[in-house]
Amino acid sequence: MAFDSLAAFLSMGGYAPYVWPAYGATLLLLLGVVCHLSLERRRLWRELRRRARRERHQSRDGGTTP
Amino acid sequence: MWAFIHKLGSPKVFYALSARLSPWFWTAAAVLIGTGGVWGLAFAPADYQQGDSFRIIYVHVPAAFLAQSIFVVMALAGLVFMVWKIKLADMAATAMAPLGAGMTFVALLSGAVWGVPTWGTWWQWDARLTSMLILFFLYIGVIALRGAFGSRDAGSRAASVLTMVGVINIPIIKYSVDWWYTLHQPATFSITSRPAMPTEMWLPLLIMVLGFYSFFIAVTLTRTRNEILRRESSKRWVRDLVGEAG
Amino acid sequence: MSRPEARSAIVSPDRARGVDASLTSALYATMRRDLILLLRRPGAVLNPLAFFALVITLFPIGISPDPELLAIIAPGLLWVAALLAALLSLDGLFREDAEDGALEQLLLAPHPLPALALAKVAVHWLTTGLPLALMAPVLGVMLSLPLGSYGVLALSLALGSATLSVIGAIGAALTVGVSRGGVLLSLLVLPLYVPVLIFGAGAVQAAIAGSGVAAHLALLGALLAAALVFAPWAIAASLRISLNG
């Protein structure tokens, strides 16, 4: 362990205001991409399912409404 | 061999294949980035000159590597799309662009932040940071151009041409900026002039780079699947897929 | 028995009807048409020059009239202003022809599109790049540019603006189908202008410092050669994309 205590680790040898924002930004990007990914996937699936349901209704009613 | 590539080109086959592949890359990315990050932050020795601020390298270098390789992969995907008309290649290129821009931005941010203790200012016209900034504008240009056209196909083809033109210019820009920087070299400490890193310093870096690349592959696989759902939603196999799951 | 008359018997149908359809005549015709169109509307040629002069006059007002300071930043200012002026005039390169259908005729022509596109780019350089290069020394005086660098300024601008026109034409071809494509054009093309700006402004600064200028001009020439080799194909592909939609 390169640091002798948690406090030393957090202070990062006095460079905390530089190291942590850099790591924070990277983590933000990684998590942001993952969240955006799954949200986009869920939204697409919901849309597709809604369209499938609408088509099923139309075919059942003999397709009267366009 | 070509039959396989052509089969892979069909969205239906790719959709099923990537469903099996991407979990592996997601776990590899999580494990590698997790261990590399902790190792680099907590266990790697501090740099004798820069102290602990050097630990930003474990984030800056992988992001910078990824930023440049994503652009090259996008250009290759563009070439495949333009030459063999494989639509899947363009879907992949569309999926990669935002991640590439994000990685370039993070590389810029971490590079600038890293420079603060050494140069004392938030932005220093260092050769690599300047090239990275220009690469960021290239990404924005490609993304903006892709969306500027009415028809998606024209936008894709235009973006592919621009990506290929851009990828030819990246080395030219890099060398001319390096040359420009050495010409106006202010007498300051530059990150590169350091002795070779000892193994316990570059090993976590290697792990982080591998982690970032598997993250890139995982994201590309999954976002391309989303793109397939978006573009092929009217196709029969997608409706059956939704029907089954619905 | 290769008497000239026998050989001339095999005459292409166009020649028979007195129509000279060779590539050189097509290029000549395209350039001639564009030059005539541009000279009929002097505004198209004078606007970039007026813009160039105006931008140069803004800097002393914005920064400071002090000659020493201006002399230091003069090469960079002149080059950036010339670059922006060339960029401004790029938007019209293909737009008018696209609107009145002339561009479609160009695509349908039997001659290779990259060559025809290059002819149009050459006209653009003649009507914007060259005038800017000739005008730059005059503006250099206003920025108290040190003596001995005026020749290099004009030469580097003339050489560099050719590359700017060729690379810019790719952006113009890509955005010809896009409404309000002007801003997008500059977003696409400016990153690609960076090497030209570096070596162009570097040439003038080297001339001021008295060190060798040959390296800079050689690199500018190399950039132009590379652009001339790769860009026409990209311009042709971009035109086909923009028009076929």
Test the B interface: residue of A4, A5, A6, A19 with most B CBs within 10 Å:
A19
Task: State CA B10 to chain mean position distance.
Answer: 24
Q: Please provide residue B197's backbone torsions phi and psi, each rounded to the nearest 5 degrees.
A: -80, 140
CA distance C159 to C223: 10
Assess if residue B10 is contained within a domain: no
C150: tokens are: 């005026």
The predicted structure's pLDDT at residue B194: 52
**CA of C235: which chain B residue's CA is closest?**
B161
Q: Please provide residue B47's backbone torsions phi and psi, each rounded to the nearest 5 degrees.
A: -75, 140
Task: Name the residue ranges covered by the structural domains of chain A.
Answer: 6-59
Greatest mean pLDDT range, B42-56, B165-179, B210-224, C83-97 = B210-224
Strand partners, B47: B51
**Exposure string for B81-115, b = 16+ CB within 10 A, e = fewer:** bbeeebbbbbbbbbbbbbbbbbbbbbbbbbbbbbb
Q: What angle do CA A32, A36, A37 make, to 5 degrees?
A: 115
Assess if residue B160 is contained within a domain: yes
Whether B13 has a pLDDT exceeding 60, the answer reads yes
**CA of A29: which chain B residue's CA is closest?**
B102
CA distance B10 to B88: 7
Nearest residue to B173 via CA among B141, B142, B139, B130: B130
pLDDT band of C44, cuts 50, 70, 90: confident
CA dihedral sign of residues B232, B235, B240, B246? positive
Nearest residue to C123 via CA among C234, C34, C37: C34
User: B127-147 vs B87-119: helix axis angle to the nearest 10?
Assistant: 150
pLDDT in tens, A4-43: 888 888 888 888 888 999 999 999 999 999 999 999 999 9
Q: Sort C19 into a burial class: Cβ within 10 Å, 0-12 / 13-18 / 19+.
A: exposed
Distances C77 to C69, C83, C144 between C-alpha atoms, Å: 12, 10, 12
Of C202, C230, C242, nearest to B180 by CB-CB distance is C202
Q: How many domains does chain C have?
A: 1
pLDDT in tens, B113-156: 988 887 788 888 888 889 999 999 999 999 999 988 888 899 99
pLDDT band of C11, cuts 50, 70, 90: low
Distance from CA of C238 to the nearest CA of B (A): 6
**What is the complex's ipTM, to 2 decimals?**
0.84
How long a stretch of residues is chain A? 66
Nearest residue to B224 via CA among B10, B36, B61, B30: B10
Q: Report DSSP letters for C133-168, one per residue.
A: HHHHHHHHHHTTPPTT-HHHHHHHHHHHHHHHHHHH
Contact B113 A14 (CB under 8 A): no
Query: Would you tell me how many other CB atoms lie within 10 Å of the CB of residue B4?
Result: 9
pLDDT band of B189, cuts 50, 70, 90: very low
Whether B107 has a pLDDT exceeding 80, the answer reads yes
Contact A49 B245 (CB under 8 A): yes
CA distance B89 to B95: 10
pLDDT in tens, C74-83: 999 999 999 9
CA distance C188 to A65: 47
**Chains contacting B (3 or more CB pairs within 8 Å):** A, C
The predicted structure's pLDDT at residue A62: 66
CA distance B184 to B193: 17
Residue C237 domain boundaries: 12-244
Residue B140 domain boundaries: 56-192+202-230
Q: Is the CB of B33 inside 8 Å of chain A's CB atoms?
A: yes
**CA of A18: which chain B residue's CA is closest?**
B113
Of C187, C199, C231, nearest to B141 by CB-CB distance is C187
Chain B residues inside the 8 Å CB shell of A26: 59, 63, 106, 110
B6: tokens are: 């052509």
Query: Is it the case that chain A and chain B have 3 or more CB pairs lying under 8 Å apart?
Result: yes
The predicted structure's pLDDT at residue C55: 94
In the three-class reduction of DSSP (H, G, I as helix; E, B as strand; rest coil), residue B47 is classed as strand
In the three-class reduction of DSSP (H, G, I as helix; E, B as strand; rest coil), residue B207 is classed as helix
In the three-class reduction of DSSP (H, G, I as helix; E, B as strand; rest coil), residue C176 is classed as coil
Assess if residue C5 is contained within a domain: no
Helix or strand (DSSP H, E) at B154: helix B152-183
Q: What is the CA radius of gyration of chain B?
A: 21
CA distance C187 to B145: 9
Mean pLDDT for C182-205 is 94
Q: Is the CB of C187 inside 8 Å of chain B's CB atoms?
A: yes
Q: Is the CB of B179 inside 8 Å of chain C's CB atoms?
A: yes
Of C178, C192, C231, nearest to B148 by CB-CB distance is C178
Assess if residue C166 is contained within a domain: yes
Task: State CA A25 to chain mean position distance.
Answer: 15
B29: tokens are: 């990315």
Q: What is the CA radius of gyration of chain C?
A: 21
Mean pLDDT for C193-213 is 93
CA distance C139 to C149: 13
CA distance C131 to B130: 31
Contact predicate B134/B173, CB 8 Å: yes
What stretches of chain B adopt beta strand conformation (E)? none
Q: How many domains does chain B have?
A: 1
**Exposure string for C66-89, b = 16+ CB within 10 A, e = fewer:** eeeebbbebbebbbbbbbbbbbbb
CA distance C217 to C157: 10
Alpha helices in A1-66 (DSSP H): 6-11, 16-60
